[in-house]
Structure 1
Amino acid sequence: MIRVLVVDDEALIRMGFQRILDTADGIEVIAAVSGGQALRTAQEKAPDVVLLDIRMPDVDGLTVLAELRRLPHPPVVAMLTTFDMDEYVATALRSGAAGFLLKDTDPEELPFLVRSLADGDTVLSSKVTRTVVDGYLDADSQNHASGRLDRLTDRERAVLLLIAEGLSNTDIATRLYLSTGTVKDHVSAILTKLEVGGRVQAALLAQRAGLLKGEGGNR
Structure 2
Amino acid sequence: MSGSKRENDQDRIRVLVVEDDAVVRWRVCDALRTATEFLVEEAGTLAEAKSHLAANPVRVLLSDLRLPDGSGIEIIRAVRAKFPDAEIMVISILGDEESVIAAITSGANGYLLKDAFPADVVATVRDLVRGHSPISASIARFIVRHSQGSGRKTPLPLNTARLTPREIDILWGIAKGFSYSDIADHLGISRQTVPGHIKNIYRKLEVNTRGEAVFEAVQQGLIKL
State the TM bucket, normalised to the shorter chain: 0.5 to 0.7
Higher RCO, 1 vs 2 (CA within 8 Å, ≥6 residues apart) = 1
CA distance in 1, matches of 2:108, 2:119: 22
1:22-171 superposed matches below 5 A? 22-71=33-82, 75-104=86-115, 105-108=117-120, 110-138=121-149
Task: Tell me the TM-score normalized by structure 2.
Answer: 0.55
Shift of 1:56: 1.6
The answer for unaligned runs of 5 or more in structure 2 is 1-11, 153-225
Question: Counterpart amino acid of 1:106?
Answer: P
1:14 and 1:65 map into 2 onto residues whose CA distance is: 17
* Equivalent residue letter for 1:124: I
Deviation at residue 120 of structure 1 after TM alignment? 2.2
Select the residue among 21, 25, 30 that pairs with 1:10: 21
- CA distance in structure 1 between the aligned counterparts of 2:35 and 2:97, rounded to whole angstroms: 31
**CA shift in 2, pair 1:125/1:15, >3 Å:** same
CA distance in 2, matches of 1:62, 1:32: 15
Aligned residues: 140
- The 3 A distance-change label for structure 1 pair 18 and 93 is same
What letter corresponds to residue 117 of structure 1 in structure 2? Answer: L
Aligned-pair CA distance for 1:135? 3.6
Cα deviation, 1:117-154, whole Å, max 9, x if unaligned, reads: 2222222122221233234433799xxxxxxxxxxxxx
C-alpha displacement of 1:36: 1.6
Runs of 5+ consecutive residues of structure 1 not aligned to the other structure: 142-219
Q: Which residue in the other structure is 2:158 paired with?
A: none
Q: What is the match of residue 175 of structure 2?
A: none
Residues 83, 127 of structure 1: 8 Å contact kept: no
Change in Cα spacing, 1:82 to 1:132, as seen in structure 2 (3 Å) is farther
The amino acid that maps onto 1:111 is: V
CA shift digits 1:152-173 (9 cap, x unpaired): xxxxxxxxxxxxxxxxxxxxxx
- The Cα shift of 1:73 comes to 5.5
Q: TM-score, normalised by structure 1?
A: 0.56
Q: Deviations over 1:38-59 (max 9, x none)?
A: 1221232212101011122311
Tell me if structure 2 keeps the 8 A contact 1:68–1:75: yes
The residue number in structure 2 matching 1:168 is none
Quick one: distance in 1 between partners of 2:97 and 2:29? 27
- Partners in 2 of 1:99 and 1:133 — Cα distance? 14
Question: What displacement does 1:113 show?
Answer: 1.5
Question: Which runs of at least 4 in structure 1 moved beyond 4 Å after TM superposition?
Answer: none
Q: Which has the larger radius of gyration?
A: 2
Identity of aligned residues (%): 29
Supply the distance in 1 between the matched residues of 2:83 and 2:149 (Cα, whole angstroms): 37
* Kept in 2: contact 1:83–1:131 (CA 8 A): no
Q: C-alpha separation between the residues in 2 aligned to 1:71 and 1:113?
A: 24
Structure 1 residues 84 and 72: CA distance shift in structure 2, 3 A: closer
